[in-house]
C-alpha cells in the first residue's frame, strides 16, 4: 500500500521540535500580556470577500496565493492567508469598539498561501500577531514596534535591523501614486506582466515585486517620504521621536511599502541577515482605514505579525537554544504483576503532585525497563519487586549522580520524592 506523506509546503513538528515552538509562543504571549494585550482566536477559514476587501485584489496574496474553494452551500471560502483581516472582522462583529479603547489583541494562527516553498516560506505557516484598535497616537506606533523588539530580545535573537517608513494617508498618497505611475510608464518595458497590470490600479505594489528587473526599476522610483502631507510628516516625526526616547535603533527605509493594501502611514520591518532573500522576520504598521472599509465605524488601528517558522529558523542558525523540555522526573520499574499495579498507582500519585512520572506499560524485563529509562533521560528511577511490596520501601536512584536513597511507598511517597529531589537540586546549586 502506498505511503501517504505530508503535503508539499507543510511540516510535522515532532516532540523534539514542538517544545521549541511552545517555548517561542510562550515568550510571545508573555510579552504581549506585559503590554496589556488579550488573546483572540478566529476561524481558519473565512468568506473570500473578507480578504479581497482587506488584503487588496492587486496583491500577490489575492491574485496568486490564496487557497479558495466553494463549499457545499455554494459559498466561496478561503483559508486565511494572514491574520489581521479575521481579527478586524471579529472586532466589528462582536462590537469590541464599545469596550474601553484602545483594544489590544494578540493571536496565534495557521495561515495558508500557495507559493514556491523555500527556507522560511511554507504553504502552511504560522503567525503570531498583535493588533491595536482605537489609538491614532504616534506613541501607539512606537509601543507596537517596541513590543516586537522586546519579543526578539527575550528570545535571544541577535543582529536584527529595524527599518521604518511612512506611506502616508490616502490624500498625500494620491499625488505620490501619480508620480509613481508616470515613472513606471517610462520604464514599462522592463516590468513583468503582473506589474504592468498593477500600473493603472495600484503602482505602489510594483515597489514590492521580487522580480529582479522590477526591483531594479523600483530602486530609482520616487520616494514616498518626499510626498507626505504635513499631518503624515508630523506623525512620522513623532513616531521616530518616541523610538529615540526608548533608545530603539532604526533606519528609515523609504522603499518599505509592505505587501498588503490596507497599510497607511507608519510601516516597519525587522529584518535578519540569517534569512537570506526572505529577510523579514516581523512586519507591520498602521491601517487606519481598514475597520471602516470592512463595514465598521471609523477607527484608527495598527498591528504586526511574526512568521513563527522564520523566528525558529533564525534561532537555529544563531544557535539560540530554548530551555530543555520537561523530562521524565521519576520512572518506576516493576517486577511482576502486583508490582506493576503498585508502580502504576505510584505514578498516578506523583502526577497528582505535578511530577512528570512514568512506569512500564509493556511488561518488559527489568533490564529492558532500565534501558528505556536511560533513553528517555529519566531523572530518577525506582524499582519495585516482591521485597519492596512486602516492606513498603524502595530505593530511589538519582540517574545523574548514581546516589540511591530509601523511600517510603506509603501515603507520604509524593512528599518524600519532593524532599529528595529538592535536596538534590539544592546540592547542585550549592556546588
User: What pLDDT is attached to residue 119?
Assistant: 65
DSSP tag of 118:
B
Residues of the chain with CATH 3.30.930.10: 15-169+229-317
User: What pLDDT is attached to residue 256?
Assistant: 82
Asked if omega into 102 is within 30° of 0 (cis), the reply is yes
User: What pLDDT is attached to residue 388?
Assistant: 87
Bridge partners (DSSP) of residue 332 are 359, 382
Stated as kind and residue range, the H or E segment containing 202 is none
User: What pLDDT is attached to residue 431?
Assistant: 25
Mean pLDDT by 10 residues, the chain (431 residues): 87 88 95 96 93 69 79 92 93 95 96 78 91 96 96 94 93 87 86 84 80 86 89 96 94 79 88 78 92 92 94 92 84 92 91 91 93 92 90 89 88 83 58 25
Cβ burial of 103 (10 Å; 0-12, 13-18, 19+) is buried
Residues of the chain with CATH 3.40.50.800: 330-421
CATH topology of domain 330-421: Rossmann fold (3.40.50)
Beta strands 161-166 and 264-271 are antiparallel
User: What pLDDT is attached to residue 59?
Assistant: 61
User: What is the spatial distance between Cα 296 and Cα 307, in angstroms, rounded to a whole number?
Assistant: 28
User: What pLDDT is attached to residue 237?
Assistant: 96
Q: Which residue has the cell 535578519?
A: 272
User: What is the spatial distance between Cα 230 and Cα 165, in angstroms, rounded to a whole number?
Assistant: 15
User: What is the spatial distance between Cα 217 and Cα 87, in angstroms, rounded to a whole number?
Assistant: 36
Q: Which grid coordinates are listed for 281?
A: 522576520
The model's pTM: 0.84
Instruction: Choose among 55, 45, 47, 282: nearest CA to 155.
Output: 282
The CATH number that domain 15-169+229-317 falls under is: 3.30.930.10
Give the CB-side neighbour count of residue 63, counting CA atoms within 13 A: 14
Q: Residues 271, 272, 274, CA angle at the centre, nearest 5°?
A: 155
DSSP string, 49-82: HHHHHHT-TTSHIIIII-EEEE-TTS-EEEE-SS
User: What is the spatial distance between Cα 252 and Cα 268, in angstroms, rounded to a whole number?
Assistant: 9
| 3-state DSSP assignment of residue 344 | helix
Cβ burial of 386 (10 Å; 0-12, 13-18, 19+) is exposed
User: What pLDDT is attached to residue 428?
Assistant: 39
| 3-state DSSP assignment of residue 357 | strand
User: What pLDDT is attached to residue 430?
Assistant: 32
Give the CB-side neighbour count of residue 54, counting CA atoms within 13 A: 24
User: What pLDDT is attached to residue 92?
Assistant: 96
Amino acid at each position: 500500500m502506498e505511503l501517504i506523506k505530508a503535503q508539499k509546503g507543510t511540516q510535522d513538528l515532532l516532540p523534539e521540535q514542538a517544545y521549541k515552538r511552545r517555548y517561542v509562543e510562550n515568550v510571545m504571549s508573555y510579552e504581549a500580556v506585559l503590554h496589556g494585550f488579550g488573546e483572540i482566536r478566529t476561524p481558519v477559514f473565512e468568506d473570500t470577500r473578507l480578504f479581497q476587501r482587506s488584503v487588496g485584489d492587486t496583491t500577490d496574496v489575492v491574485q496568486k496565493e490564496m487557497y479558495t474553494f466553494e463549499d457545499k452551500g455554494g459559498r466561496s471560502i478561503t483559508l486565511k492567508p494572514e491574520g489581521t483581516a479575521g481579527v478586524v472582522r471579529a472586532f466589528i462583529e462582536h462590537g469590541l469598539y464599545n469596550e474601553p479603547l484602545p483594544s489590544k489583541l494578540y493571536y496565534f494562527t495557521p495561515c495558508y498561501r500557495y507559493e514556491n516553498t523555500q527556507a522560511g516560506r511554507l504553504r502552511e505557516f504560522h503567525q503570531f500577531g498583535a493588533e491595536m484598535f482605537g489609538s491614532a497616537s504616534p506613541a501607539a506606533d512606537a509601543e507596537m514596534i517596541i513590543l516586537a523588539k522586546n519579543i526578539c530580545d527575550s528570545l535571544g535573537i541577535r543582529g536584527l535591523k529595524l527599518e521604518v517608513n511612512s506611506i502616508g494617508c490616502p490624500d498625500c498618497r494620491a499625488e505620490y501614486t501619480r508620480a509613481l505611475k508616470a515613472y513606471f510608464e517610462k520604464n514599462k518595458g522592463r516590468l513583468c506582466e503582473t506589474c504592468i497590470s498593477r500600473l493603472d490600479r495600484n503602482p505602489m505594489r510594483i515597489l514590492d515585486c521580487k522580480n529582479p528587473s522590477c526591483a531594479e526599476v523600483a530602486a530609482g522610483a520616487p520616494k514616498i517620504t518626499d510626498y507626505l502631507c504635513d499631518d503624515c510628516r508630523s506623525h512620522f516625526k513623532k513616531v521616530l521621536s518616541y523610538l529615540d526616547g526608548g533608545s530603539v535603533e532604526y533606519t528609515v527605509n523609504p522603499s518599505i511599502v509592505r505587501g498588503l493594501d490596507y497599510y497607511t502611514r507608519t510601516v516597519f520591518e525587522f529584518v535578519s541577515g540569517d534569512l537570506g532573500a526572505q529577510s523579514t522576520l516581523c512586519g507591520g504598521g498602521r491601517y487606519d482605514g481598514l475597520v471602516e472599509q470592512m463595514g465598521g465605524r471609523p477607527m484608527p488601528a495598527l498591528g504586526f505579525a511574526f512568521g513563527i517558522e522564520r523566528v525558529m529558523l533564525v534561532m537555529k542558525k544563531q544557535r539560540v537554544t530554548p530551555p530543555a523540555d520537561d523530562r521524565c522526573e521519576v520512572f518506576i520499574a516493576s517486577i511482576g504483576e502486583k508490582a506493576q499495579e503498585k508502580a502504576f498507582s505510584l505514578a498516578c500519585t506523583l502526577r497528582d503532585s505535578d511530577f512528570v512520572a512514568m512506569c512500564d506499560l509493556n511488561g518488559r524485563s527489568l533490564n529492558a525497563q532500565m534501558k528505556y529509562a536511560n533513553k528517555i533521560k529519566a531523572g530518577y528511577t525506582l524499582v519495585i519487586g516482591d521485597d519492596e511490596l512486602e516492606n513498603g520501601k524502595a530505593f530511589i536512584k538519582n540517574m545523574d549522580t548514581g546516589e540511591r536513597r530509601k523511600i517510603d511507598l506509603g501515603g507520604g511517597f509524593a512528599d518524600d520524592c519532593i524532599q529528595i529531589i529538592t535536596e538534590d537540586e539544592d546540592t547542585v546549586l550549592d556546588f
